[in-house]
Amino acid sequence: MASEQNHLQSHKVGIIGAGISGIAAAKQLSHYSPLVFEATGSIGGVWKHCSFTSTRLQNPRCDFEFSDYPWPERDNSTFPSYQEILEYLHNYATHFDVLKYVKFNSKVVEIRYVGDRETTHLDVKPGEYGTLLRGYPIWEVAVETNQSPNLQWYAFELLVVCIGKYGDVARMPVFPLGKGADVFHGKVLHTMDYSKLDKDAALQLLKGKKVAIVGYKKSAIDLAVECAKANQGPEGQPCTMVIRTLHWTVPSYWIWGLPFFLFFSTRSSQFLHERPNQSFFKTLLCLLSSPMRKAISKFIESYLLWKLPLVKYGLEPDHPFVEDYASCQMAILPEDFFPEADKGNILFKRASKWWFWSGGIEFEDHTKLEADVVLLATGYDGKKKLQDLLPHPFSNLITDSSGIMPLYRGTIHPLIPNMGFVGYIESVSNLHTAELRCIWLARLADDRFKLQVLER
């Protein structure tokens, strides 16, 4: 058993991951001297390991900062690059002396629940979640350091999982038998693999090549621009974006001369949108304000259809703008995206189904697209990564038919004791969300409040 391993180290709080969520958790729980496990050699998470040369934040600086650490130039209206974000996060960690808690190149390979061994100490009444710090270990964690075959075990009263939804596990398309990537004579890369290339290697991969990019979210759009820039001149080749589902794209956070936050980020605007477990009065108010909600969506759509050549390229979604905004599917366009499309450097192909043939991609209408390189901007499978790490039966509790992790306050699962999850509920500003979750979790650990009784 884990507890029989030599040199078992016991701590109050353990944190897995040193991305934005992990660093925020370490700062808020610093009075417990947490132990933070980071599988790589640096902090930053996806901003460090899943970014391209052209990757930028989709928010202004003032909308992506910690509440107690403003950006040096927070009034700068440009969207910061991923290098600037990494610098900001490192400065934040240094300022609050968080790095001393981080164990780099330390990959968590197994988690074991050991709370049952301490049943004689349980002071939790039926239906109560209980305190997060009970005075004895609840979880044991096996860590592989510097790829050593010898695992070190640690025990924690509270474990906070901050490995995120992005990176590590690529979501790959499933193809019919005999029509997968193995029949294709060119190169196939997921964006996760592309992001690991240096600037020269990425340029060499794209320059003068027929490139197909599968997807139409932020990563796919950034890739299309990088491909277009790599193929300037007479020797260049256009890239083709293969799009299954269209999403609304926005050139900036100004709509018909009005700032975007007026529509969705004011206190009055919150009365337009439904929330879980809301009162009858709030439900009635949302119902009565439904025409206003639709009008705002149409108002924004009218601007986007006027400002962007969506109709020209067949890129107008068939669903309301508010749906993409509410589900965080909206993307901010690089300013040179449609200018490159106008030059013929970026092409578009709508297709719900496709597969490989030896020379490229074939579609369900039996048309074929020749390609030398196929880049898959098909996202990541964050839940699989988490399920592979959590022990049974807890791994089965994090799935839900809605596709959203069933977490109370987006942070804890009432049936998974003494474990917090940060970074799994998306918002317009994931940094703000992560910090708020960590503040709430730290106050719960401090016994500043008690949770409601659990209905079983």
Question: Would you call the peptide bond into 393 cis, given omega within 30 degrees of 0 as the criterion?
Answer: yes
Return the minimum-mean-pLDDT range out of 59-63, 89-93, 299-303. 59-63
Residues contacting 390, CB < 8 A, separation 6+: 111, 398, 416
pLDDT at 131: 82
Give tens-digit pLDDT for 20-47.
Answer: 999 999 999 999 999 999 999 999 988 8
Give tens-digit pLDDT for 384-393.
Answer: 888 889 998 8
Q: What residue ranges in 262-397 does DSSP mark as E strands?
A: 331-332, 346-350, 354-357, 360-363, 368-370, 373-376
Do 253 and 362 form a contact (C-beta atoms < 8 A)?
no
pLDDT at 401: 66
CA distance 444 to 456: 21
Give burial (CB, 10 Å; 0-12/13-18/19+) of 449.
exposed
> Strand 254-255 vs strand 258-259: parallel, antiparallel, or unpaired?
antiparallel
Asked whether residue 268 carries a pLDDT value surpassing 80, the answer given is no
Give tens-digit pLDDT for 102-147.
Answer: 999 999 999 999 987 554 444 555 556 678 888 889 999 999 999 8
Residue % of the chain over a pLDDT of 70 = 93
pLDDT at 261: 78
Asked whether residue 358 carries a pLDDT value surpassing 90, the answer given is yes
Asked whether residue 403 carries a pLDDT value surpassing 80, the answer given is no
Give tens-digit pLDDT for 144-164.
Answer: 999 888 899 999 999 999 998
Do 2-167+381-445 and 181-251+308-376 fold alike per CATH? yes
The whole-number average pLDDT for the span 413-418 is: 91
Asked whether residue 251 carries a pLDDT value surpassing 60, the answer given is yes
pLDDT at 455: 63
pLDDT at 53: 81
Sequence ranges of the domains in the chain: 2-167+381-445, 181-251+308-376
Residue % of the chain over a pLDDT of 90 = 57
Give tens-digit pLDDT for 316-330.
Answer: 999 999 888 878 788
For the whole prediction, is pTM greater than 0.75? yes
Highest mean pLDDT out of 47-51, 119-123, 407-411: 407-411
Give tens-digit pLDDT for 192-243.
Answer: 999 989 889 999 999 999 999 999 999 999 999 999 999 988 888 999 999 9
Asked whether residue 278 carries a pLDDT value surpassing 80, the answer given is no
Decide: helix, strand or coil at residue 279.
coil
Q: Which CATH superfamily is domain 2-167+381-445 in?
A: FAD/NAD(P)-binding domain (3.50.50.60)
pLDDT at 127: 53
pLDDT at 254: 84
Residues contacting 303, CB < 8 A, separation 6+: 255, 256
CA distances for 225 relative to 191, 287, 376, angstroms: 14, 42, 15
Q: Tokens standing for 415?
A: 């049936």
Question: Which residue matches tokens 């979210």?
Answer: 217
Asked whether residue 48 carries a pLDDT value surpassing 90, the answer given is no
CA distances for 429 relative to 58, 218, 296, 411, 436, angstroms: 9, 15, 21, 16, 11
pLDDT at 21: 95
pLDDT at 31: 96
Please state, rounded to an integer, the average pLDDT across all residues of the chain: 88
CATH of 181-251+308-376 among 3.50.50.60, 1.10.357.10, 3.30.750.24, 3.40.1120.10: 3.50.50.60
